[in-house]
Amino acid sequence: MNAYEQKQAARRARYEDRAEKASTASEATYQQARTMAEAIPFGQPILIGHHSETRDRNYRARIHNTFGKAFALHDKAKHYEGKAAAVGTGGISSDDHDAIEKLRAELADIEAAQDKMKAANRAIRRNNRDELAELGFSAQQIEELFTPDACRRVGFPSYALNNNSANARRIEQRIKQLERLKDRGDVEKAGAGYTYREDTTENRVMFEFPGKPDADTRALLKRHAFKWSPTRNAWVRQLTNAGIYAGQQVRAALDSVEG
């Protein structure tokens, strides 16, 4: 695994650990609530006016609250299980140092699929099932390709080819954007009480301050989608064209205040 993949694996492991701890705590809390409830004879009502009424009501409330904590911990465990399962499912991240290579591989797969669909449609027009088999389609797939859809179309419809082509263009544009940012190189500029950085290794636009910035500065950064990163000790957002533009806007605002 590269550095980014290792971070993703560590992140997934943290979520899984939190889920396991919450699940264990939920089970223990649930058993505690059941044990508390078993102390009350089945069906016994609160004895209104009895000297034990207040104590009994408080005890039953604690049982209710303990069950509530158990259910809340169960929900927390499911929340972290979901977050762990979602790690790495968002596609190829620009933070991945191998993003360009992975995108090129994905583009090659899409282009190969496009060529295969076009070749299949040509074979279908010639009613050549043997050619479809040579392209790697199974007997069942060949039958499905020859089965008309609701619009009486056979083979791969034009919208499937158009969608695939559009996806290929999107990936091509993303590759070009990442290459331009990579070729741009790192940037570091001192400003009025801050240091501005464009870090291609971290894939971040950053603002560093000697101390905690004042409330107006923090509001300005948040308004331009910068977030505080304790690990980097900086206000950051992803290194994209939009991020660079936002950085320019923040720098202009900070420098004008100082001026």
| Inside any domain, residue 113 | yes
Query: Does residue 9 share a domain with residue 82?
Result: yes
Q: What is the torsional sign of CA 24, 28, 31, 33?
A: negative
* Least confident stretch, 101-105, 164-168, 180-184, 253-257: 180-184
Has this prediction a pTM greater than 0.75?
no
Residue type at 230 in one-letter notation: P
**What pLDDT, in 10s, does the model give residues 31-73?**
999 999 998 887 788 778 887 788 888 999 999 999 999 999 9
How far is the C-alpha of 246 from the C-alpha of 232, rounded, in Å? 19
**What pLDDT, in 10s, does the model give residues 87-119?**
988 889 888 889 999 999 999 999 999 999 999
| Inside any domain, residue 162 | yes
pLDDT at 258: 63
- Structural domain for 8, as ranges: 3-86
Segment 17-41 shows an average pLDDT of 94
Residue type at 72 in one-letter notation: A
Query: Does residue 75 share a domain with residue 11?
Result: yes
Query: Does residue 117 share a domain with residue 57?
Result: no
Number of domains in the chain: 3
Query: What radius of gyration do the chain's Cα atoms show?
Result: 30
Q: Which helix (H) or strand (E) element contains residue 71?
A: helix 53-86
* Least confident stretch, 109-118, 174-183, 228-237: 174-183
Residue 251 CB partners (closer than 8 Å, separation 6+): 189, 191, 196
**What pLDDT, in 10s, does the model give residues 126-162?**
999 999 999 999 999 999 999 998 889 999 999 999 9
Query: What is the SS3 assignment for 118?
Result: helix
